[in-house]
Structure 1
Amino acid sequence: MKKQGILNSHISKVLADLGHTDTIVIADVGLPIPEGVRKIDLALTLGSPSFEETVNAIASDMEIEKVVVAEEMAADNPKALHYIERKFGGSGVERCPHEEFKRLARKAKAVIRTGEAKPYANVILQAGVYF
């Protein structure tokens, strides 16, 4: 039995299979999941698990070189944007229109759906290399 890191077997497998520049999405309950992209649904109830809790767990187990959020997050969910900028360094966070974000999500290896019920609580994480 695994005793540290991501215990969810589906997420653990996706992270282990990521190559350089592959992406995953951590999403709120409202983001449409693109056809053909694997959905890992963690949502239990509204707000659980939270966006921040899920991002923290994934970030501790994944080498991340790039982070993308929807530019609408700044106006409609500044708390989440502030968290992402603190977590990943403000200058390293890219922004794009929400419609472009949804197009980028089509290329993700997986979308991890949280129970977060706040607007634009979505992030694309691009895998880096640790060597």
Structure 2
Amino acid sequence: MLKGIPSILSPELLKVLMEMGHGDEIVIADGNFPAASHARRLVPGYGHSVCDFLHAILDLFPLDTYVEAPVLLMNPVEGDDKNPPIWKEFEKVVEAANGNKVPIEKLERHAFYERSKAAYAILATSEHVPYANIILKKGVL
């Protein structure tokens, strides 16, 4: 154990976060996301929610300030709720971690899947809420 490091962050996840460079992306995926088939590096985070990881990761992880939107979400498909309630939670967590409002982009479902394939890593959670997938682009300190 280390002081100041949230226990939810496994050694494997910490290693991935440290290896990532400016512009690299990590996907925090809900339990419905095809993480194993899309990941270059799959990090298991089963038993925890996306928001739990978002809180812990953003305590350590700088978001990219050189892009229009360093946070990306998966847009719902036709017929689903266009504003999933989990998104408000994401916005609150991101804003609290950054101390200001952060631009968030929404990608069409298949575009989100393609973007995920190029991500540095995918963190697979047990989140059961639909559309609780988020991509974070790493910035510099």
TM-score of the alignment, normalized to the shorter chain, above 0.5: yes
When the two chains are superposed, the root-mean-square deviation of aligned CA atoms in Å is: 2.1
**Structure 2 equivalent of residue 93 of structure 1:** 104
Q: Any gaps of 5 or more consecutive residues in structure 1?
A: none
Structure 1: distance between partners of 2:14 and 2:32: 24
**Structure 2 equivalent of residue 28 of structure 1:** 30
Q: Deviations for 1:77-123, whole angstroms, at most 9, x for unmatched residues?
A: 62211112223356610111011101000111111111101111100
Counting aligned pairs with the same residue, the percent is 29
Asked if 1:40 corresponds to 2:57, the answer is: no
Structure 1: distance between partners of 2:62 and 2:105: 17
Q: Any gaps of 5 or more consecutive residues in structure 2?
A: 65-69, 96-100
TM-score, normalised by the number of residues in structure 1: 0.85
Of 90, 93, 111 in structure 1, the residue corresponding to residue 122 of structure 2 is: 111
- 1:91–1:71 CA distance, 2 compared to 1 (3 A): farther
Structure 1: distance between partners of 2:38 and 2:60: 26
TM-score, normalised by the number of residues in structure 2: 0.80
